[in-house]
Structure 1
Amino acid sequence: MSQNHADYSEKRDFIRMRVDTDVTLIHAEQVIAAVCLDLSSSGMQVQAAKTFQVGDNLSVSIDSDHPSLKGLHATTQVVWIADQPQGQQKLGLKILAMS
């Protein structure tokens, strides 16, 4: 776990909801499938099979299975990283803007 993760974890002022849902990340025009582990009004924790760096900006899309609910589309920034087995990473993403 990086030092950034320890610093950022102390700033949690928002309730996190566990979601375990598929998401699409877009970084440098590359589309990456990932899983959103939890979500709050200010950020999310995502697991991906690609390496990112703290400070990277990612577009995130979560599709809705319900016709009456719009999916989530956000611009985010990586604020912490935890390396996982087999080249995966858990990412702490701060939501910068929603569209």
Structure 2
Amino acid sequence: MSSGCLDYSEKRDFIRMRVEADVSLIHQGQVISAVCLDLSSSGLQVQAPRRFEVGDTLEVRIDSDHPALKGLEASTEVVWVADQSGGKQKLGLRILSMK
């Protein structure tokens, strides 16, 4: 079942952690710097400086500043987009797999 089929209460069954962390989005070999706004066990919300489309697959990397903690690396799919001023977008990314 895609997350688009879940009703509002089911989407909120995943605990979300508000963060403002620098994130690298890798799309078709291009690395794009963005900001992760929130994170859950099933996905993330990201503010990106350029446009993406629903269905795009992105590799996501969040580096850790702590030497004992590994950063996050995941394959994701864009499940929703919200246009913002200046050509920016907020993206809903569903985690497909962790690396």
With normalisation by structure 2, the TM-score equals 0.90
Q: How does 1:11-26 map to 2 (within 5 A)?
A: 11-12=10-11, 13-26=13-26
| Matched-pair identity in % | 66
Aligned residues of 1:8 and 1:80 also touching (Cα < 8 A): no
Displacement of 1:50 = 1.0
Is 2:64 the counterpart of 1:64? Answer: yes
Q: 1:45: which partner in 2?
A: 45
Shift of 1:7: 6.0
Summarize deviations over 1:20-50 as a string: whole Å, max 9, x none: 0000000011110000000000000000011
Identify if the C-alpha distance between structure 1 residues 81 and 87 changes in structure 2 by more than 3 Å, giving closer, same or farther: same
* Residue correspondences, number: 95
What TM-score results when the alignment is normalised by the length of structure 1?
0.90
Q: Is the 8 A contact 1:8 1:79 kept in 2?
A: no
> What SS does the aligned partner of 1:93 have?
strand
**Root-mean-square deviation over aligned CA pairs:** 1.7
**Residue 92 (structure 1) aligned with residue 89 (structure 2):** no
